[in-house]
Amino acid sequence: MKIAATRIEIENLLLPSRNSGKSIGFVPTMGALHKGHISLVSLSINENDVTVCSIFVNPTQFNDPADLKRYPRPLESDQKMLEEAGCDILFIPSVEEMYPNNDYSLLNEDFGVLDKVMEGQSRPGHFAGMITIVNKLFTYVNPHKAYFGNKDFQQLTLVKYFVKEHHLPILIRECPISRDTDGLAMSSRNRLLSAEERQAATLLSRSLFKVKEMWTGNNITELMTFVETEFAREPILKLDYFEIAHFETLQPLKTPISPDTPIIACIASFAGKIRLIDNIKLQ
């Protein structure tokens, strides 16, 4: 696996492949890789001639400085996992490379309501930082396809919107949530959980699975109460939000809805200091 640390390096490394018409797949990450990331890398390897993975802990998308400070950075083991998976190129730029001269200015993209709800409401500035860095990474890597996990469903929705709005010639490939055997959605932040928090955190997926089972299309209020009650019983967790929303517009839905409306349930909760998210498609 080749390694690039600067824009010039990644552009030069990719130039021969680009010039000979090879397809480039890209998996942007913040590192602390798990099987979910590796499934994106494997999919990219299957679908492209060259696969690039980036690891960059993007400071501007952390609304909480403590979260940024504690974010895991196990670069050596990440590198090993990528090598074993067969990744061709790892891009590991520095903060100075991505924000030269301390210029942290962010894109001011108008996402309408898409970035105002759920994560957007709970993590002010998060999506502006996220889309700024994704746009820079897309510009430097210039891939044919880019791979995003469905756990960050709202992020994925915004990236798809951005690519469409700006007519970027990049196909966004969305990949299913990878889960541990007990249902917990894989996340880089899981490794920060204590044993007790890790155990309690399964309530996120457990309640989503239950909500899917109970879903009739007419019982949103009942389901909201169900989830709130479940979380109120678990002192280690603090529910941030539970929303049942339109799959495309992300508008929260509170009234009875028709069976052909695409619906997703999204949840965010703190386990101690660690914030976790998950979601499930209801119909």
Taking the alpha carbons of 177, 158, 147, 105 in that order, is the dihedral positive or negative? negative
Active-site entry in 34, 37, 144, 166? 37
Site for ligand PAF contains 109 (CB under 6 A) = no
Q: Which stretch binds ligand PAF (CB under 6 A): 5-13, 22-30, 76-84, 261-269?
A: 22-30
- Minimum CB–partner distance for residue 177 and ligand PAF (Å): 13
Q: Which of 32, 98, 114, 134 binds ligand PAF (CB under 6 A)?
A: 134
Q: Return the number of the residue (9 or 152) whose C-beta is nearest ligand PAF.
A: 152
State yes or no: is 37 an active-site residue.
Answer: yes
Q: Which stretch binds ligand PAF (CB under 6 A): 18-26, 128-136, 195-203, 273-281?
A: 128-136
Site for ligand PAF contains 143 (CB under 6 A) = no
- Minimum CB–partner distance for residue 37 and ligand PAF (Å): 8
Q: Which stretch binds ligand PAF (CB under 6 A): 113-121, 129-137, 218-226, 262-270?
A: 129-137
CB 71 within 8 A of CB 62: yes
Question: Which H, E and C letters describe the chain, residue by residue?
Answer: CEEECCHHHHHHHHHHHHHCCCCEEEEEECCCCCHHHHHHHHHHHHHCCEEEEEECCCHHHCCCHHHHHHCCCCHHHHHHHHHHHCCCEEECCCHHHHCHHHCCCCCCCCCCCCCCCCHHHHCCCHHHHHHHHHHHHHHHHCCCEEEEEHHHHHHHHHHHHHHHHCCCCCEEEEECCCECCCCCECCHHHHHCCHHHHHHCHHHHHHHHHHHHHCCCCCHHHHHHHHHHHHHCCCCEEEEEEEEEECCCCCECCCCCCCCCCEEEEEEEEECCEEEEEEEECC
Q: Which stretch binds ligand PAF (CB under 6 A): 25-33, 166-174, 209-217, 260-268?
A: 25-33
Extract the tokens encoding 280.
């499930």
Rounded Cα distance between 201 and 274, Å, is: 10
Q: Which residue, chain included where needed, has tokens 């989503």? A: 208
Site for ligand PAF contains 133 (CB under 6 A) = yes
- Minimum CB–partner distance for residue 237 and ligand PAF (Å): 22
Size of the site for ligand PAF (CB under 6 A): 10
Q: Which of 49, 109, 152, 180 binds ligand PAF (CB under 6 A)?
A: 152
Site for ligand PAF contains 130 (CB under 6 A) = yes
**Binders of ligand PAF in range 26-65 (CB under 6 A):** 28-30, 58, 61
End-to-end CA distance of the chain: 41
Q: Return the number of the residue (52 or 223) whose C-beta is nearest ligand PAF.
A: 52
Q: Return the number of the residue (34 or 238) whose C-beta is nearest ligand PAF.
A: 34
Q: Return the number of the residue (137 or 220) whose C-beta is nearest ligand PAF.
A: 137
Q: Which residues bind ligand PAF (CB under 6 A)?
A: 28-30, 58, 61, 130, 133-134, 152, 155
> Annotated active-site positions, please?
37
